[in-house]
Amino acid sequence: MIDLFLTNFLSPPVLFFFLGGLAVMVKSDLGIPGQISKFLSLYLLFAIGFKGGVALVDGPPDWLMARTLLFAVALSALVPFILFQFTKRRFTRATAAAIAATYGSISAVTFIAATGYLDNFDIQWDGYMVAAMALMEAPAIIVGISLFYAGTNQAIRWKTVLHESALNGSVFLIMGSMLVGALTGQKGMAQVSPFVVDLFAGLLCLFLLDMGIRAYQELKNARQLFTLKEYGVMIVTALITPIMGATLATLGVWAMGISEGNGMLLIVLAASASYIAVPAAMRLAIPEAQINVYLPMSLAITFPFNLLLGIPIYHALAVAVQ
C-alpha cells in the first residue's frame, strides 16, 4: 500500500496539481488563461473517449459488461438518495440536493488520472468503462433535483434538466469521441496516436496544474465565507462521502467478479464528485442552492483527496476483492 501511495504521489500529474496549489499559497501570479484551460479540458475528454472507443471494439460485448454498466447507473442514483438523507439536516434543502447530485455524479478528470495510474502499472482495463463514466452523469443530477422538488410545490422543468444532465458538453464530447474511436478502430488510432497518446501525459500535467490553482482558490474563498463549524462540516462531508461511494462500489465489484482494472475504475467513479456538469445543471434547476458550498467540497476537498490518497486506496480495494 505504501508503494502504491508513493508511486501515485510522485507521478508528474499529481505533483503538478500540488504545484498549482503552492502557487496560490505563496501568492504567485501563475495562471493558465481560460481558453487554454478549456482546450486542455476538451483535449482530455476527446483523448480518453477516443481511446475508450478503440478499446471497446477490440473485444466483443458480454454479459459482465452489461451488468457493470447497469450497476454503474444504479450507483449514480443510489448515492445521492442516501447522501441527501444526511445532508438535509446540515444544509438547506436546495444545497443538500445539489451536494447529493454532486457526489452521485462523477469527475472525468479523476477517472482520467485513474486510467493513467493503471497504465503506469500495466493493469488492463476495458473501453466500456468510459461509457460507464458518461452514463453516471445524468441519473445523479435527475435524482438530486427530484429530491429537492419532492418537498416543494414547484414544478420541475424536465426539458431543461434532461438537456443539461444528458447533453452537456463534457458528456456529449466523450460519448461522441468514443463513437468515433469505435467506428475507426485501430486504423483511426494509428492516425491520431501522436496526438491522443504521445501528448496525453504532458497535457494532463498542465491541466492538473490549472486544477490545483482553481482548487486552492476555492478552498481559500470558502474559508473566508463560512464559520469554522460550517467549514468543518463541509470538509468532513467531502471526505466521508467518497468512502461511502467506494464501499458500495466495492461490494458490487466483489459480487459480480469485475476485474482488477475495471473494478478500480468503477470504485473511483463512485467515489468521485462532479464540479462541471452538476454546477451547470443546478444553476438552471435549483438556483437557490449554494454553489459556494458544493463546488469547493467537490473541487477543493474531494478531488485532491482522491488524487493523492483515494486512487491507491481504491486500487487496494479492487485487489482485495479479486
Class of domain 2-20+30-320 as given by CATH: mainly alpha
- For residue 117, CA distances in Å to 120, 215, 259, 293 come to 5, 21, 16, 30
Residue in the structure block whose three cell numbers are 454498466: 69
Report which DSSP code applies to 167.
S
Show the cell assigned to 176. 461522441
Show the cell assigned to 22. 503552492
Report which DSSP code applies to 154.
P
Cα atoms in the Cβ-side hemisphere of radius 13 Å centred on 246: 24
3-state helix, strand, coil in the chain (%, to 5): 80, 0, 20
Show the cell assigned to 247. 464501499
- Which positions of the chain have pLDDT values less than 50? none
C-alpha span between 298 and 101 (Å, rounded): 11
Classify 290 in phi/psi space as left (phi over 0), alpha (psi -120 to 50) or beta: beta
Nearest to 50 by CA among 170, 189, 171: 189
Determine the pLDDT at residue 161.
66
Domain boundaries, the chain: 2-20+30-320
Contact 33, 223 (CB under 8 A): no
Give, to the nearest 10 degrees, the angle between helix 128-135 and helix 169-193: 160
Determine the pLDDT at residue 59.
66
C-alpha span between 127 and 177 (Å, rounded): 12
Residue in the structure block whose three cell numbers are 475504475: 265
Q: What is the mean pLDDT of the chain?
A: 89
Determine the pLDDT at residue 137.
82
Residue in the structure block whose three cell numbers are 463513437: 179
Could you count the other beta carbons within 10 Å of the beta carbon of residue 1? Answer: 10
Determine the pLDDT at residue 192.
93
Report which DSSP code applies to 150.
T
Determine the pLDDT at residue 164.
62
C-alpha span between 73 and 136 (Å, rounded): 5
Contact 281, 141 (CB under 8 A): yes
